[in-house]
Structure 1
Amino acid sequence: MKHGWVRELLGWLSAAAIAVIVTGQVASTARADLLLRDGDSLVVPMFVRSILEGQGWDWAMSTVLFLPESAMFALLRLALPIGIDALLLVNAVVNVLALYGAVRLVAGRRGPERAPVAWSVTAVAAFGVIAVTELSASRESLELASLLLTTTYYSATVIAVICSIGIARRVCDRPGRRRGMLIVLGVVAALTTLSNPLYLVWATVPIGVVLGFAALRANDRPRMLALLWWLVGGTIVGLLGRIPLTAWIENSGLGYAKPQLWPESAAYYGGLVVERLSTPLGWVGAVVIAGLLVLAVRRTVRASTRGQRLVAASAWMLPLLVVIGAIALGTNAARYLEPVVFAPLLALVADPKTLRLLSPAMARIATAIVAVLLLVGAGLSVPRIVHAATAPDEDLACVVSWIDESDQVGAGQFWTARLPKLHLEDPSQLVQVDHRLNGYSWLVNRRDFDSTAVSFLLADDQTVNWQLSLGAMQVDVVECGRYVIYDLAPEEVPLGFPHS
């Protein structure tokens, strides 16, 4: 279309405004702890700092390697001379923009009587509505939309799953050449699985089921089977690619599957649903998701093209199959259910027809009003983001200053040590240990365990009671607000053998 690039630009600018608004709101609530201070959430900035500052590559990662997330954070750190908290919040904005890009891919090409840009912006706005209803600092709640704003909780996998559906739609909508798009699908599946095998559960299996049902129609069979083979093939390549990286992987993920515990898993997730629905904002988020699921089923039934049917079916089948799978495998982590939040958004772009509710003149006025509201909202949100990024943490500053000046090596447990460790001039001064003072090799640089003894212990209210004997050692207690430093110098306590 003649002015198509203008629409695309306006779509990206609208998405950017929504991203800033959502990030500003989330960062202004207790959820900011999850973005900026949670032990899990800090693995990517810790890893990127280690690599960029030459502190070593010998990292102990979980099942997830965070490769795309680390690459993005590294680019932001190299490009922007700002603090860690500010980088994390900029990364949150980028993640929401990436969500828009993925949804825009799913919406398909522009054409007569089609408004894929407007519907893509609407889908991201729906995501924003859900995200801003999430206020707690808990990582174990059904507040799943705001997890996309972190660098840790599978943001790249979410984007990759949506992109996979978008690529499949493009293949369905284009009657001619499709080999290039199939190859791209295989590459996305391979790279995502290489970094996070959860792609197998979120995309390969459920999308494979959707493609399998679609292949029952004789005229759709060749195209759907081709998509299925490339999706499965890419996933297998990604899993094989993890083999050379096993030295970094402390947990293969197989131990998370405990099918015999499915009743406990069902009860656990049921309890999270009850907890989520215990607040008015929880009901708002739930109603939005329920409405999108109903729309998805309706558009599946009324779909007139392969692409529409594929997207609409994915919007409700992914959440359904992921929930069933999570319970059947006996899992107990809320973050595994993220497709319940992001997949239903695709119902809005399954059939992005132009709505003729207003005259062209009124439509232009409405568009201008929405643009002004987004601009004002984004403008008001920037100070909130700046405040969250620069708010002083005197307790943290006290700990960091004491350790930097002490020239000592100390120890702290996972949830206690990670935030100070990230902000130290030399992160190796604070060794991650368990409550028995054995090295805890989990989401950390293993070079830290070159230290064989420590002369101080760091604790806070998340620290499990230490199980060790200090004998007749003299202990000086340093109070730093929520932190307590137990200074043993000049005495030292030996570290035990590292474990994961």
Structure 2
Amino acid sequence: MTRTWARELAGWLSAAAVSIVAASAVASSPRTDLLFRDGDSLIVAMLARSVLSGQPLDWAMSSVLFLPETAMFTGIGAVVPVSANGLFAVSALVNLLALYGAIRLVAGRRREGMAPVAWSVAALAMFAVLAMTDLSASRDALDLASLHLTTTYYSATVIGTVATVGIVRRAIDSDDVRVWALLWLGAVALVSTLSNPLYAVWATIPLAIVVAGGAAAAPARRRPVPILITVLLAGTAAGLLARIPLAAWITNTGIDYVHPDQWRESVVYYAGLVVERGQSLPGSAGTLLVLALVAVAIVRTVRRGEPGARLVAAMSWAAPLVVVVGSVALGTHAARYLQPLAFAPVLVLVAAPRVWGIPARLRRSAAALTVVVLLLVGGLSIPRLAVAADRPDVDLACVTAWVDASDRTGAGQFWTVRLPKLHLADPSRLVQVDHQLNGYAWLVNRTDFDVGEVSFLVEDSQTVPWDLPPTVDPERVIDCGRYTILDFGSQALPLGPQHG
């Protein structure tokens, strides 16, 4: 028992070190704005702050509700006394550690001849390497692994998908399917689908196909399959039904993203992203790593072995295949939907986590040395992560200081206003509008629009030219670097009707 706890503790410490190294590298790369400042990446932080403030909640969300992400971020914010950027950095570490926990679940129980802890750390390290090959500043690039470090791009769905594979693998490895496994399987499917219906595409559909296919190939193991698939489907369906009471918050059900007639354009779009990623050496290396893992997964699937191991190997390539084919068939144009291409292939490393044929004493010495080295490198990476999170932003500080001091309410467009809004003492002092001053109810608390009118506008290079009455001119213009504040003083600018 002591050795088991020692191994697990060593695994978690190693995973923490790997997480710090990966987060510091991504935060110091061109992806840093995606972690800390991008307008699309701030919804969870804004929602968490709204929850902590106790203000009325009337949020306009997309098809994704970010429930687990918001709960985690709110919890971190309640106990960790750091800035908003510090919370983003801590959240990145927690996301990676949670992924390690899910991978460890997939690796199965400790048995003679198996080293699930070591291989789980190796799988997380491989995922970290993929994240560190992501060097594009664009949120739309095919740099998928690093998206898991953000609060917005479906980290809970990634973890839920991997955890589902782990629960099903352990159920199949057991002689009897225990009630706890079924309860956890249903609960994970329900919560994941409730928060993000994309779980059905990433986990439910490919896993049901793989489990059913495995049962057909191995009739002797069919007995637990019907109940596992039934619980998975039932949990997913329950999650979809549980979204109905939250319909007032869901301003886009996802149907607007589906355009089957544009599948050709989708092929061209995703092919262009592949070419773009291949134009850098790290991007090419990351792509080759994924292809190599997929090739290994296919080989391990066709090779004879235990049903649980073949299940994990099959999901390592089947999930990416289903997601890519489905994304193209639906005519989508969003790289973030393809994240199984990054996290699913690394699972092949824990499909059959066997001990290498070297003496036990040498293995223990090598493991201890590896843990020490990882902790040392991780410790040395902490200052790098802190520097990236605390990088001064003079222009942002100029805007927030002016708005806080004005004691008035202004407005700005989505890509411009979200970062200053998050960092204000009172976020409602900046209202999200379109270029005609209509309320833009998208990923924002609709109570902001109750103010009815504003007296200044914030703009930057991403702002669409304003369409204002010709008689309205600002009384003064405040220069805040990349931001400009148009102060209309005593002139009130009425807000138009809301739209999503």
* TM superposition score normalised by structure 1: 0.98
Match of 2:287 in 1: 286
- From the superposition, tell whether residues 344 and 17 of structure 1 become closer, same or farther in structure 2 (CA, over 3 Å): same
SS in 1 for 2:458: strand
Match of 2:391 in 1: 391
Choose 283-292 or 105-114, whichever is displaced more.
Answer: 283-292
Matched, 1:150 2:150: yes
SS in 1 for 2:33: helix
Match of 1:232 in 2: 233
* Aligned-pair CA distance for 1:472: 4.8
Match of 2:298 in 1: 297
Match of 1:110 in 2: 110
2:117 maps to amino acid: V
8 Å contact kept, 2:106–2:169: yes
2:71 maps to amino acid: A
1:469 maps to amino acid: P
SS in 2 for 1:286: helix
Choose 7-16 or 205-214, whichever is displaced more.
Answer: 205-214
Match of 1:427 in 2: 427
2:235 maps to amino acid: G
* Aligned counterparts of 1:236 and 1:371: Cα–Cα separation in 2: 43
- Deviation readout 1:199-236 (Å, 9 max, x if unpaired): 01111111111122123243232311211111110000
SS in 2 for 1:3: helix
Equivalences for residues 162-181 of structure 1 within 5 A = 162-181=162-181
Equivalences for residues 403-414 of structure 1 within 5 A = 403-414=403-414
* Aligned counterparts of 1:361 and 1:204: Cα–Cα separation in 2: 42
* Aligned-pair CA distance for 1:474: 4.0
SS in 2 for 1:185: helix
Match of 2:438 in 1: 438
Matched, 1:363 2:363: yes
8 Å contact kept, 1:165–1:311: yes
Match of 1:182 in 2: 182
* Aligned counterparts of 1:470 and 1:151: Cα–Cα separation in 2: 41
- From the superposition, tell whether residues 348 and 303 of structure 1 become closer, same or farther in structure 2 (CA, over 3 Å): farther
Match of 1:252 in 2: 253
Match of 1:351 in 2: 352
* Aligned-pair CA distance for 1:363: 2.7
Match of 1:319 in 2: 320
* Aligned counterparts of 2:404 and 2:497: Cα–Cα separation in 1: 26
SS in 2 for 1:468: coil
* Aligned-pair CA distance for 1:35: 0.5
SS in 2 for 1:215: helix
Matched, 1:8 2:1: no
1:427 maps to amino acid: P
Match of 2:493 in 1: 493
Matched, 1:223 2:221: no
* Aligned-pair CA distance for 1:81: 1.0
- From the superposition, tell whether residues 301 and 472 of structure 1 become closer, same or farther in structure 2 (CA, over 3 Å): closer
* Aligned counterparts of 2:427 and 2:470: Cα–Cα separation in 1: 25
- From the superposition, tell whether residues 474 and 57 of structure 1 become closer, same or farther in structure 2 (CA, over 3 Å): closer
Choose 473-482 or 83-92, whichever is displaced more.
Answer: 473-482
SS in 1 for 2:223: helix
1:112 maps to amino acid: E
- Deviation readout 1:433-452 (Å, 9 max, x if unpaired): 01111100011010000011
8 Å contact kept, 1:14–1:374: yes
- Deviation readout 1:263-304 (Å, 9 max, x if unpaired): 000100000000000000001111111111111111111241
* Aligned counterparts of 1:258 and 1:302: Cα–Cα separation in 2: 39
8 Å contact kept, 1:431–1:449: yes
* Aligned counterparts of 2:3 and 2:367: Cα–Cα separation in 1: 16
SS in 2 for 1:458: strand
* Aligned counterparts of 1:388 and 1:354: Cα–Cα separation in 2: 39
* Aligned counterparts of 2:467 and 2:328: Cα–Cα separation in 1: 35
8 Å contact kept, 2:474–2:486: no
1:193 maps to amino acid: T
Equivalences for residues 136-147 of structure 1 within 5 A = 136-147=136-147
SS in 2 for 1:484: strand
Match of 1:56 in 2: 56
* Aligned-pair CA distance for 1:482: 0.5
8 Å contact kept, 1:215–1:225: no
Matched, 1:272 2:273: yes
* Aligned counterparts of 1:404 and 1:372: Cα–Cα separation in 2: 47
- From the superposition, tell whether residues 400 and 303 of structure 1 become closer, same or farther in structure 2 (CA, over 3 Å): farther
* Aligned counterparts of 1:11 and 1:88: Cα–Cα separation in 2: 24
* Aligned counterparts of 1:359 and 1:469: Cα–Cα separation in 2: 81
Matched, 1:90 2:85: no
* Aligned counterparts of 1:260 and 1:67: Cα–Cα separation in 2: 32
Choose 65-74 or 363-372, whichever is displaced more.
Answer: 363-372
8 Å contact kept, 1:140–1:335: yes
Choose 322-331 or 200-209, whichever is displaced more.
Answer: 200-209
- Deviation readout 1:303-349 (Å, 9 max, x if unpaired): 41110111110010000110000000000000000000000011000
Match of 1:67 in 2: 67
- From the superposition, tell whether residues 312 and 472 of structure 1 become closer, same or farther in structure 2 (CA, over 3 Å): closer
8 Å contact kept, 1:58–1:446: yes
8 Å contact kept, 1:35–1:149: yes
8 Å contact kept, 2:438–2:498: yes
Moved over 6 A (4+): none
* Aligned-pair CA distance for 1:177: 4.2
* Aligned-pair CA distance for 1:454: 1.1
Match of 2:212 in 1: 212
* Aligned-pair CA distance for 1:2: 5.1
* Aligned counterparts of 1:170 and 1:197: Cα–Cα separation in 2: 25
* Aligned counterparts of 2:363 and 2:309: Cα–Cα separation in 1: 26
Match of 2:329 in 1: 328
Number of equivalent positions: 499
2:356 maps to amino acid: L
Match of 1:308 in 2: 309
1:471 maps to amino acid: T
8 Å contact kept, 1:299–1:351: no
SS in 2 for 1:273: helix
Choose 219-228 or 162-171, whichever is displaced more.
Answer: 219-228
* Aligned counterparts of 1:479 and 1:269: Cα–Cα separation in 2: 40
8 Å contact kept, 1:214–1:224: no
8 Å contact kept, 2:167–2:181: yes
1:75 maps to amino acid: G
SS in 2 for 1:50: helix
* Aligned counterparts of 2:366 and 2:212: Cα–Cα separation in 1: 42
- Deviation readout 1:381-410 (Å, 9 max, x if unpaired): 100111122221100000000000111111
* Aligned-pair CA distance for 1:38: 0.8
* Aligned counterparts of 1:175 and 1:97: Cα–Cα separation in 2: 30
1:189 maps to amino acid: A
SS in 2 for 1:244: helix
8 Å contact kept, 2:177–2:224: no
SS in 2 for 1:478: strand
* Aligned counterparts of 1:206 and 1:246: Cα–Cα separation in 2: 27
8 Å contact kept, 2:13–2:371: no
- From the superposition, tell whether residues 229 and 374 of structure 1 become closer, same or farther in structure 2 (CA, over 3 Å): same
1:252 maps to amino acid: T
